[in-house]
């Protein structure tokens, strides 16, 4: 039972730290602004136009407003509708993972208070190791296949056929070039790996202290 709970906790914690990293950047206007400057987006659009379109997109993903069809095409809107659904499902999975994690943690505390700190330490250690291992596997795939391979496979799995756009004619593609998604993905992967390492380190430290008691 203990091993099963640790395994379940490791999976939940992975989703929690992954999605917390994702959502800390996906709506971060300052991050987008920096990347737009870095990747020459402001050579195509004025800063005001680009950031207004980005703000409109954020609101659309949050169901706060309609998509600006003067900026985005019908085909782009179809793709962005799929993106919106994926983001919303990711948010649901994120909140479900947090809820289940706390329920499991409280249940363990109520059922085994004396050994709770040992369980908590092991949970932190093994969850961090599990998350870090998954990130390392992803990094290996990235090194072998490259970003384009991962980007294409991701779209083939999660989207319909409306994901190929020409930056010369597509405002969406010009606003979000492949290099933007490469940087965003690597940033999220790095932050997730850092969180996993800190979690494993804290778990190891706490576990060592518990063994000395």
> Could you tell me the residue ranges of all domains in the chain?
2-212
Residue pair 35/176 in contact by the 8 Å Cβ criterion: no
**Residue 59, token pair as written in the block:** 């609101």
Q: Which helix (H) or strand (E) holds 11?
A: helix 2-26
Q: Is the pLDDT of residue 197 over 90?
A: yes
Q: What is the pLDDT of residue 125?
A: 94
- Tell if the pTM clears 0.85, that is, is over it: yes
Name the most confidently modeled range: 2-11, 161-170, 194-203: 194-203
State the pLDDT confidence band at 1, using cuts at 50, 70 and 90.
confident
Residue pair 203/127 in contact by the 8 Å Cβ criterion: yes
| Rounded Cα distance, 3 and 63, in Å | 41
| Rounded Cα distance, 71 and 170, in Å | 9
pLDDT tens column, 165-180: 888 899 999 999 999 9
Query: What is the mean predicted confidence (pLDDT) over 46-75?
Result: 97
Q: What is the pLDDT of residue 114?
A: 84
């Amino acid at each position: 039972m203990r091993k099963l709970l640790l395994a379940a906790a490791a999976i939940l914690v992975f989703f929690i730290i992954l999605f917390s990293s994702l959502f800390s950047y996906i709506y971060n206007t300052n991050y987008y602004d920096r990347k737009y400057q870095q990747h020459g987006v402001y050579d195509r659009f004025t800063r005001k136009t680009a950031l207004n379109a980005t703000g409109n997109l954020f609101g659309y993903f949050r169901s706060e407003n309609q998509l600006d069809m003067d900026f985005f095409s019908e085909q782009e809107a179809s793709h962005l509708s799929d993106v919106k659904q994926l983001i919303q499902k990711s948010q649901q999975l994120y909140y479900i993972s947090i809820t289940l994690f706390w329920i499991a943690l409280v249940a363990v505390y109520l059922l085994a208070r004396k050994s709770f700190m040992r369980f908590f330490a092991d949970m932190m250690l093994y969850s961090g190791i599990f998350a870090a291992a998954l990130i390392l596997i992803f990094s290996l795939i990235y090194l072998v296949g490259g970003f384009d391979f991962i980007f294409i496979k991701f779209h083939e799995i999660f989207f319909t056929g409306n994901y190929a756009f020409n930056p010369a004619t597509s405002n969406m593609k010009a606003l979000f070039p492949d290099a933007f998604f490469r940087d965003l993905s690597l940033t999220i992967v790095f932050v997730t790996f850092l969180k996993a390492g800190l979690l494993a380190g804290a778990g190891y430290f706490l576990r060592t202290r518990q063994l000395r008691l």
